[in-house]
Each structure stands twice: as C-alpha cells, then as structure tokens.
Amino acid sequence: MSAFMNSVRLKSLFLHFFDVHFLEEKGKMSLNPHFQREMRIATRMAVATSETVYIPAASYFESGFCRVILSEFEELIGLGMIVLLGSSTSLEDYVLERQDEGFYRPGSDQHIWYKAQYALEQLPTYIRRERSATKDIIDHWRSTVDDQSLIRRLHDAAPELSSSLEKRLDIVPNELGRLAFIPEHVYEILDLAGAPSLVRARIRDVINQGYFDSYARGLGAGFITDLRYLSSTFELPSYGTNLSYPSLQRLLLEKDKLKEFSTCSPFSLGSIIDAVGWQNSALPITTPPVITPANATIYLPNQPIMTISAVPPLEVQSSTKPLKILCIAAAQVELKALTVKFADLFECEPKTRFIGQDKRYAASKFTDPKNGSEWYVATLAQQGNVEASGGVAALSHALNPDLILMVGMCMGMPGRSLKIGTVVIPSEVVGFDHERFKNGETQHRPHFGIAANGFQRIARIVATTDRDYETVVDKAVASASVKIEDPDAPLIQAITKAFSDVIAFDMESFGFYRGVPEGSQSLWIKGVADTGEPQSSTMDGRDSKQVAQKTATYNAGDFAVEVVRAWHEATTSQD
C-alpha cells in the first residue's frame, strides 16, 4: 500500500472497455480467454499507475466482466481508488431510474438486468456526475452530422445507402425523446435493422465515442491505449495522460515480472510496477492526451510524469466546448430590449441562426467576449404558460443547451412595494391556469413548481452584492395565462389574500419550469415593469410605460449575464 501512497501516479484513468456497447462490437471475441485476460491485466495496470480509476456505473451493473474483475480489488475498493460514475443521486436511484420502461425498452438486456435488481452490496465509491452523457452524445452526434463526417463514413461503408438517410441522421436526437441514446434505439429510428454490419458499426462508433468523450472530458482522464483484443475502432478521446498497454506489458516481460503482476495481491501492484521503473522507462509507456484540457498533466517523453495541477475527481470543471445558453424572451418588446442590452454588454452585433436542422426555430446568437459563452436569444410564438411550456421544451430539444433562461419583464404584486426595474428570481412558482366555475364563482386550483436548482443558487449568491437595481431572490412568483390590467382583479386579490409569499406575477413562469428538461439548469429572471395598471390613454403615459418595460428587461438581462458568468467561473475554476 505504501507504494500507492508515496509514488507519483497518473491523476486518473478511465476504463472504457467494460462498456457493454463497446463489448458488443467485439462479438464472439469477448469469449476468448485472451480477451478477458487483457481486460484483467489492463485493470491491474490502471490501479497500479493512477491515483483514481473511473468506471461508469452502467459498466459495473451491465457487464459481468466488470463485476468479476473488480471483485479482485475488494481491499482497494474501500480506499476509494476505484470510483463508479453516474448521473443519479445514489446507486440505488441509478438502478431504480433504469427500471423505467421509458429508459430501456422492455425485453432489452439492460431492462431485464435492472429489473432483476442486482444486490447492491460492497459497491465501489460512487460519484454523481454533473455532466449529462446523453447531452454530450447528442452534441457529438450533431457535430458529426454537421461536419458530414458521419455520412462520409456511412457512404464509405455502403455507397448504395439511400440519400434520405442524411436528413434522417439529423432527426435522431429529437426522435429519441426520453429513450437512452444507445445504438439499438438509433438503428430503429434509422431503419437500419437489415443494414450492412459495417454501417451499424459506424453508427455505434459515433455513439460510443460521444459517450466516452463525455466521461473523459469531465474527468480530465486518460485511457489505457493500444490494447490488442480490446482495441477500439474509433479514436479514444482522452483528456489526460494515457497509459500504453503494450509498452507496459513489454516492460514487465523484460523484467520478468508479468506473471507476478498478473497474480499478486492488489496491494502489491504498486510496488511491482515501481520496481520495474515504469516512470523512467525508455519505452513510451505514457502518451499525451488526444485533446489537451486546461488542467492536464505535463507529458514529457521518457521523463517522470509531473502533475501541474490537481484534477478534482468531480465533473464540474473545464470543458473545451463553450457554454451554450438558451435565453427565451416571450414578448416582442422583451426580445427587442434584450437584443439591445446584449449587443451592448457583449459589444457585438447578433448573428441570426437557426436552431436545429429543420429550420423551425431561429435565434439571435451572441458570444460573450469574457468567457466565450454562446447565447441564443429566442422567442415564443405567443405569450402564456402553454406556449412557454411547449416552446421551451422544443427549443431545448433543438439546441441542447447547458443553461436555460427566460428573461424579460413581469408585474410586481400590488402592495408589495417593488420598485420598477427590481429583478425577481423565484424560489417557487405557482400556476393559476387551473380554475373551476361553480355556483357563479371561480375557484382557483393552484399548482406549485420548485424553481430552485444549482443555477438559481448561484443567482442568489450573485444577488448578495449591490448594483444599481434591487433584486429579490427568495420569494414566489404567480403565473396565469391572463393579462392583468387591473390591480384589483379578482385573481390578484385571491393571490394576495392566500399567497403572501408571492411577490410578482407573469404569464409564462409556470409553463417555463414545466417545459424545461428534467434535471436541467434553468432560471426565470424578470424585472418588474408595473403593478397591473391599465394601459394609459395618453402618449406620455404609453412612453413612460415603454421606458419602464425596457428598464425592467435591461435589468433582467444584465443580471442574467452576471449569473451566467458566475456559473461559468464556478464550473471552470480550479481553486
């Protein structure tokens, strides 16, 4: 054990080869004893040379090889050297979520396995991922569709493929809906059941590569490379120093230590590997990352590995891709004001871009010069909760953003004494679209939505500093698809009476939070433009109202940019 504690190691290695979709590519080869032996030795090499070995929880649960091989490391598992990764809050939740028929089709191997409820005992350390593998696979898929590399690979495999396939590749992410982005589901959508095996293999490669990229990127991890039986058909997208399997194997053979390394106790792995001098060998045992992250380890051929900064074993760290923000402005006046505000803040003119290939949605694109974040400002066809819910869902599917915002103006509740321009961030939203007419009276059936998430909590921290306008970040917002032009309207009176925590009212907040994808980082930010007064009949009155509306939206836009910049800093900082 002392060897593990005292020697310089690679920061982290990601073991990709237990993934069942990767194994599927290997076919009957996986039954070959050499294949299984290579898996086992590679795992030993990873444990011996790195501080942390990461494995997707899916590999652990779905691959018998993985569980059998890891069972050899029982003593080390308790030390947290082998870590499982997943998107759920706990391993128990991870299994439960995958029992849902909307996740894996009934009858599929995965669904059968998770339904069987493998006994959750003596499990390795588990860390919840912040990144979404599905989202990253979608991004990777779209990039290979956009740059034509996928269609080129498919045409290389089968030149006779129908020309309509190219268009259908684009719809795959939307067609999948909540289904997992796995090869079987994609074959179904593309009608590739009878397609040549090479075509199917190349589809599978894109998905597997996107999946591994998601993990390696978030972890800044390297891979075990140049495996023979476990060789990958696609390039492994490493973000950390890699370990060359054949080079280390050759070194062990040269020193006549391979047999001992293969059979020793896990605690002896470190001392054996150090005894053969792996860090100073003339063999190219470590190789640099394919993609260099900001916090990578220095790679110097034939030199000891030197870590220049710690890569925390969590996935809220730097990404080479810019942050993508979907910013929705419901009304035209809000869209116009936000466009002006962002052009001023980002010191650039917007570019008009379509979101998605079907050209159904358009947006004004801005790039934040401070951090490279890409803002897509889009609008809805109409106002109201129904349009907000459907619109945000469709736009999120099409753009696949990291952060989702609704920015604009709202009504301050009468009697709450909010100044014009005060920015409101809700901790809760209450929907009032559900009503009942009975015996000549209207009964309200309010529904509640929690608006708190990581993004909202960042906003609350940002709001602790002073600025030219006020912010309210811990109250509720009421919402109904009705335009209020009377502060004494029965609905407003009812809300005031029964919901003392409600500070503002708008027509979209409830629909917005209903429409955002589950688990996404979303935030409604609006400035107070009025308190429900009717439209003025005078020109001066209208001008004054317009000024208030612009001020409210400007302030909301300003605060939105502050919060996103704070989010970016929090997720990329290495402090």
Partner 1 sequence: MTEITINLAKSRKGVRVIKIRRTKIRKRQIVLIGSMSVYSELCAYAEVLNNAGIPTIVPEAEKDALNQYSLQDLEQFKREVSHKHIRQVRHPETWGVLAVNLDRHGILNYVGPNTFAEIAVAFAQFKKIYLLQSIPHAYLDELSAWQAIPLKGRLDTLIEDYMEATRSPSRQLKLFE
DSSP, collapsed to helix, strand or coil, labels residue 274 as helix
H or E stretch covering 288 = none
Q: Which residues, other chains included, contact 288 with Cβ-Cβ below 8 Å and sequence gap of 6+?
A: 241, 242, 299
Looking at the DSSP bridge assignments, the partners of residue 424 are: 472, 526
Amino acid at 25: E
- For residue 265, CA distances in Å to 44, 52, 65, 298, 545 come to 10, 18, 19, 31, 76
Nearer to partner 1, 18 or 512 (CB): 18
- Min CB(228)–partner 1 separation in Å: 5
Q: Is 397 left (phi over 0), alpha (psi -120 to 50) or beta?
A: alpha
- Min CB(190)–partner 1 separation in Å: 17
Q: Are 14 and 217 in contact (CB under 8 A)?
A: no
Nearest residue to 214 via CA among 93, 126, 321: 321
- Min CB(320)–partner 1 separation in Å: 18
Burial of 156 (0-12, 13-18, 19+ CB in 10 A): exposed
- What is the distance between the alpha carbons of residues 23 and 6, in angstroms, rounded to a whole number? 35
- What is the distance between the alpha carbons of residues 488 and 397, in angstroms, rounded to a whole number? 39
Nearer to partner 1, 228 or 419 (CB): 228
Q: Are 414 and 535 in contact (CB under 8 A)?
A: no
Rule CB under 8 A: which residues touch partner 1?
26-29, 32-34, 37, 153, 156-159, 196-198, 201-202, 205, 227-229, 231-236, 249-250, 253-254, 256, 258-259, 262
Nearer to partner 1, 123 or 161 (CB): 161
Nearer to partner 1, 158 or 482 (CB): 158
Nearer to partner 1, 229 or 267 (CB): 229
Nearer to partner 1, 37 or 467 (CB): 37
- Min CB(156)–partner 1 separation in Å: 6
Q: What is the dihedral of CA 185, 187, 191, 197, to 10 degrees?
A: -160
- Min CB(231)–partner 1 separation in Å: 4
- Min CB(69)–partner 1 separation in Å: 17
| Sign of the alpha-carbon dihedral angle for 132, 135, 137, 139 | negative
- Min CB(245)–partner 1 separation in Å: 11
Nearer to partner 1, 205 or 433 (CB): 205
Nearer to partner 1, 290 or 343 (CB): 290
Q: Are 80 and 114 in contact (CB under 8 A)?
A: no
Nearer to partner 1, 284 or 312 (CB): 284
- Min CB(233)–partner 1 separation in Å: 4
Q: What is the dihedral of CA 375, 380, 384, 385, to 10 degrees?
A: -60
- Min CB(135)–partner 1 separation in Å: 23
